[in-house]
Structure 1
Amino acid sequence: MGTFSVAVRLSGMNGGAPLDVEATVDTGSAYTTLPGSLLRDLGVEPFDVRRFVLADGHVVETEIGEARATLGDKSVTTVVAFGEEGSPPLLGAYTLEGLGLAVDPVMQRLVPARLIMY
């Protein structure tokens, strides 16, 4: 299985100008992550700091905030992580679940998720 990316539109909760990015779909990442400067430019304000384990095993503390994520005709308020400068945009599991989307790893695309109520 490889990785793939999708176009996602992110905007701050204050209704400012949105930002369109190509984000790598990463179900192993808890939250959608963008460089912190881009999130601040969108008006996203941190509301907490969380500990994350990176792919190489290192633990980092990173600010998180809220933004609006839109893919096609689906849109959701989601938690975003303030990544380091130069880090690639990642579309994380929390956002995918909020949008009701799942990964088709064979076709490398997003598909409607089978949502379970209880």
Structure 2
Amino acid sequence: MRYPNFKVKVSNVEEPVKFVFVDLPVDVGFPVSVVPSHKLMEIGVKPIDKIKLSLADGKEAIRDIGVVFFELMGRRTVGPVVFGEEKDKSVLGVTVLETLGLMFDPQTGKLKPKRIRF
């Protein structure tokens, strides 16, 4: 299934006045969000660790990971972000989507509020 792109505000958690807008497709099958490295460096986000990922072709890759604010549809949360390399697919992962209290509706192709249960 092909997911539509959504305009997401990505901000530096240490200096929230530093931000970029990124068009990201939602991928409910991918847990973490991926933003191009150059966009993250542009706003001063620094890697805090590395993460091992499985790529679409079955190969494994190691990428830097950091933390940013994500804003979408008037909601804001802090979450992990993978520093995407040139050929990596940018994506808004399900972890951030769920902490924003949103879900993707495949019938309409839109995001809608989701009740968070605990």
Query: With structure 1 as the length reference, what TM-score do the two structures score?
Result: 0.91
State the match for 2:2 in structure 1.
2
Task: Provide Cα deviations, 1:38-58, integer angstroms capped at 9, x if missing partner.
Answer: 111111111111111112211
- 1:42/1:86 CA distance change after superposition, 3 Å: farther
**Deviation of 1:72 (Å):** 2.2
Identity %: 32
- 1:58/1:86 CA distance change after superposition, 3 Å: closer
Q: Secondary structure at the match of 2:58?
A: coil
Query: For 1:59 and 1:87, how far apart are their aligned partners in 2?
Result: 12
- 1:114/1:75 CA distance change after superposition, 3 Å: same
Query: For 2:56 and 2:114, how far apart are their aligned partners in 1?
Result: 25
**Is the CA contact 1:37–1:85 (under 8 Å) kept in the aligned structure 2?**
no
Query: For 1:40 and 1:81, how far apart are their aligned partners in 2?
Result: 12
**Is the CA contact 2:18–2:44 (under 8 Å) kept in the aligned structure 1?**
no
Query: For 1:107 and 1:81, how far apart are their aligned partners in 2?
Result: 28
State the match for 1:106 in structure 2.
107
Query: For 1:8 and 1:53, how far apart are their aligned partners in 2?
Result: 24
Q: Which moved more, 1:20-29 or 1:73-82?
A: 20-29
Q: Secondary structure at the match of 1:68?
A: strand
Count of aligned residue pairs for this structure pair: 117
Q: Secondary structure at the match of 2:98?
A: helix
State the match for 1:24 in structure 2.
25
* Structure 1 segment 1-118 matched on structure 2, within 5 A: 1-15=1-15, 16-85=17-86, 87-117=88-118
Unaligned 5+ segments in structure 1 are: none
**Is the CA contact 1:100–1:112 (under 8 Å) kept in the aligned structure 2?**
yes
Query: With structure 2 as the length reference, what TM-score do the two structures score?
Result: 0.91
Note the aligned Cα RMSD (angstroms): 1.4
- 1:86/1:55 CA distance change after superposition, 3 Å: closer
